[in-house]
Chain A
Amino acid sequence: MAAPALLLFGLFGLVPLIGVAALSVARWDGLGSISWAGLTNWTSVLTDSATWQSLWLTVKVMVVSWLVQTPIALALGLFQAPRGRLRALFAVLFFLPLLLSAVAIGLTWQALLDPSFGIGATPGLHWLAKPLLGSPELALYTVIFVIAWQFVPFHALLYQAGIRQIPTALYEAAALDGAGPVTRFLHITLPQLKYTLVTSSTLMLVGSLTYFDLIFVLSGGTGGPGTATRVLPLSMYITGFQAHDMGRASAVATLLVVFGLGLSLLTTRLSGFTRMDSQQEGM
């Protein structure tokens, strides 16, 4: 009975995983026939400084996103965790970005950040009337901010769920020992959230490799201005579906696969995390 699921997933998930590596040594314009290309795609991709710039942007988006989103999500998770009607209301508001598609978010922010008619035209907010998406220096950070706007609610939910699972007994024992709130946070909350932190960070880091929809819309499909926001997935799309060089795009995609799998292995290893770990050590 597992057969239909395995077939469907095998066809569109596993076969393409091998296919992308195979296409990376092929020549194909997306329409005509496919021919052998040897390693030419790879040599051209790896010697092109644009690839390295894309890779650098991807890493930058990944690291800065993590640094921005993690503290905010943790703080919001801490705030949402205790039950209460007011907190529930906040939780509903925080949830709203999760309902919007990346395209809807992209179009809204693009119009909202328009230097002439956007939020910068509000009295008192003129300091926002800058080409936030139009200037090569600011665009990437603006994109990172909008990404955070889209994804922080999800990670806050993860932290909220994690915090709610911490046994109260730990806090009671710590209080008896005279531990202050900072000590309790550092020695109970944070260590108990290890699993959540690893999960959330892995999803954030690996997920950030694949930010495509939002950047596509915010930059009008170009990864611009110039190449200021052209992260790897956009570079792949532009090479493959706009410049019709599927072989070269597949090489970029293979880089993405390798990078992604390596990263998820690394985050789980580095944190010494395995699913078997007891979450309640010391109980």
Chain B
Amino acid sequence: MSTTVTKTRTPATEGRTVPSHRAPAPGPVRKNPVPGILRRALTGGAALSWTAIVVVPIYWLVVTSLRSKSDFTSDSPLALPSHPTLDSYRTVLDGDFTTYLLNSVVVTAGTVVIAVAVALMAAFSIVRNAGSRFSRVSFRVFLLGLAIPLQAVIIPVYLLIIRMHLYDSLLAIVLPSAAFALPITVMILVSFLRDVPRSLFEAMIVDGAGDWRMLWSLAAPLARPALMTVAVYDGLQVWNGFLFPLILTQSGNKAVLPLALTLFKGQFGIDVPATMAAVVLSTLPMLALFILARRQLVAGLTAGFSK
């Protein structure tokens, strides 16, 4: 069994594995070919099985969304739709989908702008005043923040939002989401700004620049790749966030997409293809983001934790 896996995999990987100095895993293949094959068979086998586990549900999701209601009960689940149709998508789009989409866009954009702007200021100040006690304490606060689970503090957040008269508004989602995006955003920006040579800042000080000018004309442009990374990462988290919208909003016209999906489920009931079409539609913007900014997305996911 392992040999079949290796046979199919070897020609493809053999020629293309660049002997890069950062890719140690293949080892000295020439001297020790058999164990190399064994290792590849094991990891390759795991990779192939996991690929099937990942791809089958996603394939099923897409083909189901293209089936008609009647074909859904008669077609074999994994077969291609016998009469492919976009009816389910029409059903979803004829509903309030655009309202939910717009809510999600507003919430995501608002959160990302607030979180990134505020975090950049904080990171700049923490790095610039690295010696000061205030700066060290601020850093600690955000470090601690990484360990605070959202679920555990949702009740006091709910109370705060009610007292601030923000309940059932989009701002009620934006503010806490931005707050909880801050720890990781600040961490990533701090670790990036730390590498900016001090002499650049000092040169600006000699030119008479204040903190604000240094922030906007030096730190921000230099940190652009890091800013992109955190913006994309925060955006993904907020777009997919469920708990804040669930607890802090109530009206249908304030629902963001993840919450709306649960509403669709109730509304469409047994119309599974329509629910699946809604799932696909709600994911498309993130798929587009993934295609356009894959590097930033991957960097964002690992930046905070591996280094």
- Contacts A9-B182, A85-B16; A101 near B36 (Cβ below 8 A): no
Contact B242 A15 (CB under 8 A): no
User: B243 in the interface, Cβ–Cβ < 8 Å?
Assistant: yes
Measured CB to CB, the closest approach of chain A to B7, in angstroms, equals 14
Contact B35 A236 (CB under 8 A): no
**Chain B interface residue number, banded:** 35 or more
User: A64 in the interface, Cβ–Cβ < 8 Å?
Assistant: no
Which residue of chain B lies nearest to A104 when distances are taken between CB atoms in the complex? B279
Contact B54 A96 (CB under 8 A): yes
Measured CB to CB, the closest approach of chain A to B62, in angstroms, equals 10
Which residue of chain A lies nearest to B280 when distances are taken between CB atoms in the complex? A104
Flag A156-174 by CB within 8 Å of B: 1 or 0 each: 0110011111111011100
* Chain A 230-270 interface residues, beta-carbon cutoff 8 Å to B: 233, 236-237, 240-241, 246, 249-250, 253-254, 256-257, 260-261, 264
Flag A139-157 by CB within 8 Å of B: 1 or 0 each: 0000000000100111001
Q: Report A-chain residues with C-beta under 8 Å of the C-beta of B13.
A: 82, 84, 86-87
Contact B155 A23 (CB under 8 A): yes
Contact B46 A213 (CB under 8 A): no
Looking at B31, B50, B272, which has the most chain A CB atoms within 10 Å of its CB? B50
**Complex CA–CA separation, A133 to B150 (angstroms):** 26
Contact A122 B151 (CB under 8 A): no
Q: Report B-chain residues with C-beta under 8 Å of the C-beta of A217.
A: 262
Contact A84 B16 (CB under 8 A): yes
**Complex CA–CA separation, A168 to B22 (angstroms):** 7
User: B206 in the interface, Cβ–Cβ < 8 Å?
Assistant: no
Contact A9 B179 (CB under 8 A): yes
User: B47 in the interface, Cβ–Cβ < 8 Å?
Assistant: yes
Contact B240 A241 (CB under 8 A): no
- Contacts A210-B151, A261-B147; A16 near B157 (Cβ below 8 A): yes
Q: Report A-chain residues with C-beta under 8 Å of the C-beta of B20.
A: 83
Q: Report B-chain residues with C-beta under 8 Å of the C-beta of A121.
A: 76-77
User: A103 in the interface, Cβ–Cβ < 8 Å?
Assistant: yes
Measured CB to CB, the closest approach of chain B to A90, in angstroms, equals 6
Q: Report B-chain residues with C-beta under 8 Å of the C-beta of A28.
A: 159
Total inter-chain residue pairs, C-beta < 8 Å: 312
User: A13 in the interface, Cβ–Cβ < 8 Å?
Assistant: yes
Contact B54 A236 (CB under 8 A): no
- Contacts A94-B51, A104-B258; A5 near B151 (Cβ below 8 A): no
Partner of A99, one of B236, B243, B306: B236
Flag B149-165 by CB within 8 Å of A: 1 or 0 each: 11111111111100000
Which residue of chain A lies nearest to B73 when distances are taken between CB atoms in the complex? A117
**Complex CA–CA separation, A99 to B54 (angstroms):** 12
Pick 10 A–B contacts, CB within 8 A, sort by A: A1-B121, A93-B54, A101-B241, A104-B283, A107-B261, A123-B76, A154-B301, A168-B21, A181-B38, A212-B243
9 A-B pairs with the lowest CB-CB distances in the bound complex, closest first: A19-B156, A16-B156, A101-B240, A5-B122, A12-B179, A16-B153, A181-B35, A75-B46, A79-B43
Question: What is the interface of chain A, defined by CB distance below 8 A to chain B?
Answer: 1-2, 4-6, 8-17, 19-20, 22-23, 28, 30, 72, 75-76, 78-87, 90, 92-104, 107-109, 111-112, 114, 117-119, 121-123, 125, 149, 152-154, 157-158, 161-168, 170-172, 175, 180-182, 184-185, 189, 196, 199-200, 203, 206, 209-210, 212-213, 216-217, 233, 236-237, 240-241, 246, 249-250, 253-254, 256-257, 260-261, 264
